[in-house]
Structures are given as C-alpha cells and as structure tokens.
Structure 1
Amino acid sequence: MHDLVTAERMQEFAAYADRHELFELFEHLVSKMLIERPSDIHQFLIENIPKPRIPSIVVVSPPASGESTICSSIAKQYGAVHIQVSALLRVAIEKQTALGVQAKPYMEKGQLVPDVIILGLVTARLQDADVLQRGYVLEGLPRTKEQAFGMQKKGILPEHIILFEIPDDTIVDYLSNLRFDPVTSKMYHLKVDPPPSNPMVEARLVSKAHDSEPIVRARLALYHRHIPGIKACFRGFIRNFKFDQGIFGNERQVLKQVLLYLGMKRESRAPRSHRVILMGLTGCGKTTIAHMLHQKYGFIHVSPKLAILSEISNRGNNAEVLRPFVDRAEEAPEDLIIELIIKRLKSSDCVDKGWILEGFPRTTAQAMELQSRGIMPNRVIWLETPAEVCLSRLTKRRFDPETGRVVHTDHLPSEVTAAELDSWIQKDRDSEGQVRARLEYEASLKSELQSFYGVRSIADAGHPSSQRVGIMHEIDSLDVGEGQGFGGATNPSANTCFELVEGMLMRSIPAQLPS
C-alpha cells in the first residue's frame, strides 16, 4: 500500500475518514445489519446510508432523584421524544389498551408490573413515527438486570446510557423538605423553593407519604440491589455522573455536564486513525499517559526528547548538536526538532498505527509549521493540573542513581525507606528555580493551543450555541504521578486519568453541537 500511496496522502485519507465519521458509519451499518438481518443488503444500505443518526439516550438514576427535569431538557435540546415508563403505564391504563388492562391489577395492588408488559409498552412506543424520526430520551428503564437483558433481546440498543450517582442521604434530605399544598396543588421545598410567608398556607402544607424516609430508603435499597446487574449488561456503554449535592437546585450544572458528554457521542471501537497531540504544563503526567497509550494500543509515542534520543542512537547528522539537549529538549534548536518530529510522524509505522505527539508544539508558530507540512492531528488533549501541583511533583521527586527509579518524597512506596532516600538524587532541572521558570514560560501555552486548534466546549446549558467546536479537549490530571511512586500500572490515579483519556479517544467529536 505504501508503494502506491504516499504518507501525506494516507494522512489526508485518514483525516477525511475521521472528519466525516466513516468508521462510525461502517460500524453503525454493520451493527444494524446484524440486528435487522435484511434480505436485500444492497437496498438496506441504499436506504440507511443517507439517514442521519437520531439520538437514542437512556437515563438510569436512583428513584426520586429528579432526573425527569434533566431528561426533558435533553430531549428539548436534541429535538427528541422524552419517554417516561411511568407515563406510558398511566396512559395505557387510561386508554384501556391490551397492555394497560394487564398492567392495571399490578398498579392497583402497588406491585411491580411484569417486565414483559413494560418492555412491550416501550418497544411499541419506540416504533411510533415521531420517535423514529426524532429519536428518544428514555427514563425509567431498565430497573433490573432482567429488563436490561430484555432490552437487548428486543434490539433496544441506545447510543448513550447515562447513570446518575447520588448519595442516598442527599435524596432523603431533599424529599424530607418537600411540602404539598392541597388547595393549590403546588409543591414547595423548604430550602430550595420555600412557600410564601403566609400562616394560612403554612398551616395546610403536608408531606406526601411516599416521600417519608422509610419508604424512600426501601426504594433506594431495591435500586442498589439491581444496579450492579444493569451495569454488567451495558459494560462499556454506561457513563457515570456523580452528583454529591444531587440534581434538585443544581439542574443547570448537571445539564451542562451531560450535554458536554453527549456532544462527544458514545465510545466506539471502530477502527480510526489516531493522531493525537498530548499537552499540559511540565509535570502534568503527559509522558506517563503517552506511555500507557503506547503500551495498550500500540500508538507510536513521539516527543522532542524521544526524537533527540533516536537521532543520537542512529548517529544522525545532528546527533552531536542535539546531545546536550536530551534532558532539556524544549531548549534544543527549533528547526532541527521540527524536522525530526515531522520525519517521525510521516514514517510508515506512525501512518499505520497512529501516533501520540507529547509535549509539542509549544507555540502557535510550531503548530502552523506542522499543519503546513501535512501533520493534521484529530485530537488535542490538555492534561489540566495547577502549576503549584506540578511544582511539587517535580521539586519533590528523587531518582535512584543505580536503577533509575523515581519517587515522590511525599508519597513514598512502602518498600522505599526514608534512610534509602538519602542516597537518591534530585536532578538540576528539578530545582525550584528551573521548574518555576519552565512553568512561567508555559503559562500561555494552553490559550495558544486553544486559539489554534479550537477547544471542544459547550455554551451555557441555558443558552445553547451552534458555535463550531474544535478538537482540543481538557482532562483533569490532578493526581497523576502521585500515589505509589510515579506512573505505571501501580498508580491508581494515573489509571483514572488514563481511563478518561481512553474514553475520549474512543469517541468521535462532532464538528458542532446541536443547535
């Protein structure tokens, strides 16, 4: 293949496929064919290729957590149909449909409606014309592992499954402060939305029986019993959102986070060409994350330091000029570093396997030079870490001169004693003065990259915008490098950051958010 197509053309083809989501399109069509098993495959493809992918979103949350408001807002944002299982049951019973007649005795006795009835109602609703045209946001299903299996058997395979995690005490506290006015049928909350200061109103307010703490905690216990099974059924498709303060009173912030995630689309294992720039302040942990990505996925790890080491080991023309800059690659002659990096990124293994470019570019001019030479990343990841945390990581790390192992003095592994640490060294570039100088130089780096590549963000949820979205994504790496030594599989915090980076890379980022 490389004899027929140049590296530049291969990168252009890969960029086109990623920009137009061809890999996701192929994955979507193949999965639909496996589910629907059309007799005429050619006609099936003709009918489905032009169709835009409509939203299919399922929201799972603890009972009485306030998810309905969020589901309604998501549906409005995407122009989708908000489907509530409780509303489907109520309408079916009122209209005395076949399923409604079957469900009524269970509802009257306060018993759980059998899964076959629930799944029948939902499946029928998903086939209605408005849902087929606009998509859906489904609330209230699944509640059990059996329902989750039932959804899969019936071909209900949502693109996004959102799980809200809210402490039981937060839900109980909110519900215990709810008061109902039987005269006006208004609901008040003593803290968030208090009733008017009127003795007559206050006197007639009541608490609803189903909001009492014993009943709510019993419902929550049942929910917690079933949620592990639901997670197991949809492993790899669920995205957890943890809101310690709950949804009530925080709807705007909750919706903003959820819409930000939905704008990324779901994770996909469809093949794609990963061309990723990994950046952050010195000491943010980008080398650790880049190495982990290389180990797991085989992406080629490229950086100024690795380019210098390669030039030296291969006895290149500039080996001796670059040798003094092995540990301070950012100070190496810019023109030489750019040439080495571009040459490396255009090599056949980078084109075939994808690449992670760590710590470069460091200026807009360098980014422009990469672009002019045909180097087009499809992701830019910024590992967000406060400068003072980076300063602590670097100034407090020590190296074993015999083994090369590195540790943080505030987070010593159990097998390294303080006495042993006396023989370990601190490198000159880790002195406080040198680290602060590098951090000050990098202070504007994030904004420069954002301006050039465009940051993937979302407007305030209350004021959605159709503004174009870039390819730069910010990920919290506050704890990378701390814990049990630095980096690697033994560092739980590095693993957490890696999972966030990994999840972002497995999702396509649309050109713009829904308007």
Structure 2
Amino acid sequence: MKIPNALWANLIQERLSNVDCIKQGWILEGFPENQEQAWMLQSSGIFPRHVVVLYAPDTVLIERNSGKRLDPVTEEVYHTTFDWPSDELIQQRLVKPEDLSEEETSRKLLEYHRNFPGVFQIYQKILKSINADQPCMDVLSQVLTYVQTRHRSAAPFTPRIVFCGPPGSGKSLQAGLIAQKYHLVNICCGQLLKEAIADKTKLGELVKPYIDNGYPVPDKLVLKVLADRLNAPDCVANGWVLHGFPRDIEQGEELQKSHSPNRVFFFNLPYESIMERLSQRRTDPVTGERYHTTFRPAPTPVIQARLRQNPRDNEENIEKRVEAYYRNAAELEDFYEDAFYVNADQDPHVVFEFIESCIIKPLPCKKVKSL
C-alpha cells in the first residue's frame, strides 16, 4: 500500500521539528520523489538550503543494484563487486533482495526520469547535480564543498522584509517561497521563540514559562531573541524575511530602532475568505491527509466521516485571532507609510509574483520640500 504524500509530509515535518533537527540541522534522503511531494514540503514550511542530485548512466545504476546482497541476520547490505564480505559464513547466507531485479530497477528509473523535471523546477535555484559514477570519496568531497557554500542572493540589495496580515492570509507560504528564491533567512517569530527554548539558551529559559502556560511573551524578551537572530552573520549577509512580528505599533517602533526593514507588506484578505480558508480545514487522523470541505473535499463518505478539525480552526478561535490582528493593524499601516498592500485572495503564484516585483523595483523616492 502506497503511503499518501500528505502523510509523508506530516511525518517529515514532525521529525524535523524535533530538538536535534532544530539545533544540528538535517539531511533528507529519498524525498521528495515528485513535484507534488515537493509542494507538500513547501506547504508544510520545509525549505531546504541545498539540494544535491546524484546522477549516473542507467546501465551503471542497474549494474550496481543487481550486485547488491542482503544479510538476513544482520540486515547489512553487501555488493558482489565493491563490498564482498571476507567471512565465508556471511557469504553463504547472503540473499538477493526481491525488488532489485533488472526489470524492477528499470521500472523505477523510468519513473524517476519522468518525475525529476518537476522536482528540478521547484529547487532549480538551490540544486546541484553531481556525477556519482566516480570514486565515492570524490563524490563526498564535491557534496561537502557545495553544502558548505552560502548561496549568493539574486536580490538587488540586502532584503529586510516584513510580512503582516491576518491569520490564513498565506504569510508563511510566501515567506518560504521568497526565502528560497532569494536565499534569505526565513524567520517566523513564534518558531524562533520555540527554537530558543529548544536550544536551552538563557533567553529561552526566560521565554519557556510564558509559552508553556499559553501567555504572551513580553515584548522585551521577544525583541532580545529577535535581535540575536537578526544580528547573526547569515541574516546580515543574505537578508531576511520576518513574519509574526511586529504585531502592534510599539513593536514596530522598537524593530525600526535596531533593524529597520526596507520592504513591508500587508496581506489583505476579506473576513469571509479567512473563515472559509480556516474553518473548513479538516485532517484525516488515519492518513494525515489534509482536506477542505469546499476546495478539497474528502473523496469517500468513509474518509469524510472520520475527519477532524484543529481546535484553532473553530470559528470562535478564528474570530479572536482576527480581532487581535485588526485591533492594531490600522496604526501599524500608518507607521509603515511606504508599505505594499497584497491582495491575498488569489492564487498563491500570483501573490508571489506581485511580492517579487515589489522587492526587485526600487522604493519611491521621497520628495524634499523646498523652503
């Protein structure tokens, strides 16, 4: 039985949110296999910094696979040419895996060649192809050289971008897309606080009681955590896109003093659209697949019957979150008088193209009044 793409994405997102991945980083191998899976990762907020594609002629790959042998006792994998065990006892019990026949390998290669162009399109700005038909140490050396390099931003200046908008307006998705294309640091304020707690920093220890008890973290603490991140070398060199902060004019004024943004976007979405996007979201607890009662209904009555709603998505909680945003939005909009306004009630690709055009073009020059 094939595992649904959405379930894969959910499992990967859950694993990558663990403390060890947040602190040490991660390597994801064998996924995504197609464009839909790549989009699923992006929708889950997973944006790799480097993508390495190892390639070799199909004849070489078929030959490599056909020589693999499995030890059923230890589950160690050996190879008839490259890694044959010296122990005769091990040699006698080795078996050829069932799914590594030449026909099966050819079928998998055909599927890979069919799906790879879609994956390449998603990750072309951060992808490097490396010839795997050479000694493994040479391959490793090239991979290490690539992943240790910093991408040069394609932006015409060092972007310092802020996204503001109500819940459900697509800030996280657009931040991830912009960060990936221009190699910016994607900073979600809420996630940043969780990372500080996971890292067990002094600030993280101060933040932890507020997060654990569901209380708002004081502005002074948030600003200290945020300042530490924005002062890091990658943010200074590559630029950043920030969402989830500022939420009111006081926070905006404090941010302006230390790390003045040079692009601010306000996402506009009608209240009815917010409700429609969020209140109708459902999750299948069995497969992890996400559905929407209007835009992506469950395919069968059985699945429909077992769908569940996240408590954050009930209408009462959505209303509270929307009211909290609009309580301070007008003052924040006045404060950022050069901000751009985004119609978020349209296709995400259209929204992305508009944001990108505003990043590339220069800000309007303010006219100096003559005395």
TM-score, normalization: structure 1?
A: 0.40
**Match of residue 181, structure 1, among 284, 290, 314:** 284
Find the residue that maps to 1:179 and give its secondary structure: strand
1:231 to 333, 338, 342: 333
- 225, 231, 240: which one aligns with 1:127: 231
1:254 is aligned to 2:356: no
Deviations 1:124-166 (A, max 9, x none): 111112112211111111101111111122x211110011111
Aligned length: 215
Say which of 151, 163, 179 aligns to 2:255.
Answer: 151
2-structure distance, mates of 1:100, 1:181 = 34
Unaligned runs of 5+ in 1: 1-51, 272-295, 298-515
Larger RCO of the pair (alpha carbons < 8 Å, separation 6+): 2
2:269 corresponds to 1:166:
yes
Report the equivalent of 1:198: 300
2:37 is matched with none
Note the alpha carbon deviations across 1:310-349, whole angstroms, 9 max, x for none.
xxxxxxxxxxxxxxxxxxxxxxxxxxxxxxxxxxxxxxxx
2:342 is matched with: 241
Runs of 4+ in structure 1 displaced over 4 angstroms?
A: none
Who is 1:88 aligned against? 192
Residue 208 of structure 1: how far off its partner (Å): 0.9
Which blocks of at least 5 consecutive residues in structure 2 are unaligned? 1-155
Equivalent in the alignment of 1:403 = none
8 Å Cα contact 2:343-2:351 kept in structure 1: no
Q: Deviations over 1:85-142 (max 9, x none)?
A: 1110111122222222222222222221111111111111111121122111111111
Asked if 1 retains the 8 angstrom alpha-carbon contact of 2:175 and 2:241, the reply is yes
1:218 aligned residue: 320
Q: Residue 77 of structure 1 aligns with which residue? A: 181
Report deviation, 1:270. 7.5
User: Could you tell me the percent identity over the aligned residues?
Assistant: 31
Structure 1 Cα separation of the partners of residues 352 and 195 of structure 2: 28
**Whole-Å Cα distance in 2 between the matches of residues 137 and 257 of structure 1?**
16
Query: Which secondary structure does the structure 1 equivalent of 2:242 belong to?
Result: strand
Q: Which has the larger radius of gyration?
A: 1
**Corresponding residue for 1:68?**
172
Q: Which residue of 311, 316, 340 corresponds with 1:209?
A: 311
Looking at structure 1, the residues matched to 256 and 219 of structure 2 have their Cα atoms a distance apart, in angstroms, of: 13
Q: Provide the C-alpha distance between the structure 1 equivalents of 2:162 and 2:232, rounded to a whole number of angstroms.
A: 17
Task: Give the TM-score of the pair, scaled to structure 2.
Answer: 0.54
What is the Cα-based RMSD across aligned positions, in Å?
2.0
Q: Secondary structure at the match of 1:103?
A: helix
Deviations 1:171-223 (A, max 9, x none): 0111121001223333222222333x234432221011111111111111111
Distance 1:190 1:231, change over 3 A: same
Are the counterparts in 2 of residues 55 and 134 from structure 1 also a CA contact under 8 Å?
A: yes
Show the counterpart of 2:243. Answer: 139
Pick aligned residue for 1:112 from 209, 216, 232: 216
Aligned 8 A contact 2:284 2:306 in 1: yes
- AA matched with 2:300: N
Q: Alpha-carbon deviations, 1:408-464, whole Å to 9, x = none?
A: xxxxxxxxxxxxxxxxxxxxxxxxxxxxxxxxxxxxxxxxxxxxxxxxxxxxxxxxx
